[in-house]
């Protein structure tokens, strides 16, 4: 998925470069700073994320927002109407999100409570303008809190000992997090992406006999990859 995203971004940059070059040579006179051009800063990233990432809900939401704002800037839609619809639409989106995320949220809250009752704390990994790596080679894993701010965090659990459900909290802000999961676990993801995404690339079917790793993820201009 990351390769697809990089390819799409490459195509966008090449197109922009070609237009600017042709304008400079006076071959064309394409105005890329048209009325409402700034909405492309929402539309283009959202479109790429929608195509390249597995979690498409919030990418689709931001794409719709960008298109609506562009139409308003072009006087095709009325800004007053948009403001009137803002609160109802927000309520609908929150409702949809709650309907589909409520079950996994309860499980994550339950697991977090269980860890606190057992006196277990999530392992802390924080990378700010740097890189942090964690490796649980033949060690028991009890959960982790991963934070990447303008940095990257790599957590290798392929050889970790996991006999029961575990919780991983992730926060990627202008950074990246990579989790290498063992084969003998299920993966459940709850994600709040803001121009970012969480991708579960394990492609495994749920097996009730196996423990589950719950990933509670927040991404802002960043990404979390689970492999």
Is the confidence at residue 1, as pLDDT, over 60? no
**One domain, residues 73 and 147:** no
Instruction: Identify which has the larger pLDDT, 162 or 87.
Output: 162
Instruction: Name beta bridge partners: 155.
Output: 134, 179
For residues 143-159, b (16+ Cβ closer than 10 Å) or e, as one string? bbbbbbbebbbbbbbee
**One domain, residues 108 and 218:** yes
**Residue 66 structural domain:** 2-77
**One domain, residues 110 and 184:** yes
**One domain, residues 218 and 164:** yes
Specify if 119 maps to a domain.
Answer: yes
| Contact in structure between 112 and 139 (CB atoms under 8 Å) | no
**One domain, residues 120 and 196:** yes
> Which strands form 212-220's sheet, in the order they lie side by side?
123-128, 144-149, 166-173, 212-220, 186-194
Chosen domain end from 27, 44, 77? 77
Specify if 88 maps to a domain.
Answer: no
CA angle in degrees (0–180, nearest 5) for 60-63-69: 145
- What percent of the chain has a predicted confidence (pLDDT) above 90? 3
Specify if 93 maps to a domain.
Answer: no
**One domain, residues 38 and 123:** no
pLDDT in tens, 101-151: 555 556 666 666 666 555 456 788 888 888 888 888 888 888 888 888 888
| Contact in structure between 213 and 168 (CB atoms under 8 Å) | yes
Specify if 191 maps to a domain.
Answer: yes
pLDDT at res. 57: 66
The total domain count for the chain is: 2
Specify if 86 maps to a domain.
Answer: no
Count how many residues are written for the chain.
227
**One domain, residues 124 and 179:** yes
Q: Please state, in angstroms and rounded to a whole number, the distance separating the CA atoms of residues 170 and 197.
A: 12
pLDDT at res. 53: 59
**One domain, residues 73 and 114:** no
Specify if 84 maps to a domain.
Answer: no
Q: Please state, in angstroms and rounded to a whole number, the distance separating the CA atoms of residues 220 and 227.
A: 20
pLDDT at res. 54: 54
Chosen domain end from 77, 93, 127? 77
Instruction: Identify which has the larger pLDDT, 47 or 153.
Output: 153
**One domain, residues 162 and 204:** yes
Nearest one of 175, 211, 210, 215 to 192, comparing CA atoms: 215
pLDDT at res. 3: 55
Specify if 94 maps to a domain.
Answer: no
Nearest one of 59, 28, 29 to 46, comparing CA atoms: 59
The mean predicted confidence, pLDDT, of the chain is: 79
Instruction: Show the DSSP H helices in 25-181 as ranges.
Output: 40-52, 57-73, 79-117
> Which strands form 176-180's sheet, in the order they lie side by side?
131-135, 152-156, 176-180, 223-226, 197-200
pLDDT at res. 99: 64
């Amino acid at each position: 998925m990351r390769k697809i995203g990089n390819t799409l971004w490459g195509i966008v940059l090449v197109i922009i470069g070609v237009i600017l070059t042709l304008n400079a040579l006076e071959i064309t006179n394409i105005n890329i700073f048209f009325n409402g051009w700034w909405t492309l800063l929402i539309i283009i990233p959202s479109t790429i994320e929608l195509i390249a990432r597995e979690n498409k809900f919030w990418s689709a939401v931001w794409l719709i927002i960008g298109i609506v704002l562009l139409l308003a800037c072009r006087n095709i839609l009325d800004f007053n109407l948009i403001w009137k619809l803002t609160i109802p639409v927000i309520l609908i989106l929150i409702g949809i999100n709650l309907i589909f995320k409520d079950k996994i949220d309860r499980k994550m809250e339950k697991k977090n409570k269980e860890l606190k009752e057992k006196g277990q704390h999530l392992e802390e990994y924080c990378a700010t303008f740097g890189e942090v790596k964690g490796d649980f080679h033949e060690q028991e894993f009890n959960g982790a809190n991963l934070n990447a701010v303008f940095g990257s965090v790599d957590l290798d659990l392929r050889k970790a000992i996991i006999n029961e459900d575990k919780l991983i909290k992730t926060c990627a802000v202008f950074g990246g997090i990579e989790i290498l999961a063992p084969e003998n676990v299920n993966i459940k993801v709850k994600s709040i992406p803001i121009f970012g995404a969480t991708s579960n690339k394990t492609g495994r079917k749920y097996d009730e006999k196996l423990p589950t790793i719950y990933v509670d993820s927040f991404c802002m201009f960043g990404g979390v990859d689970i492999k």
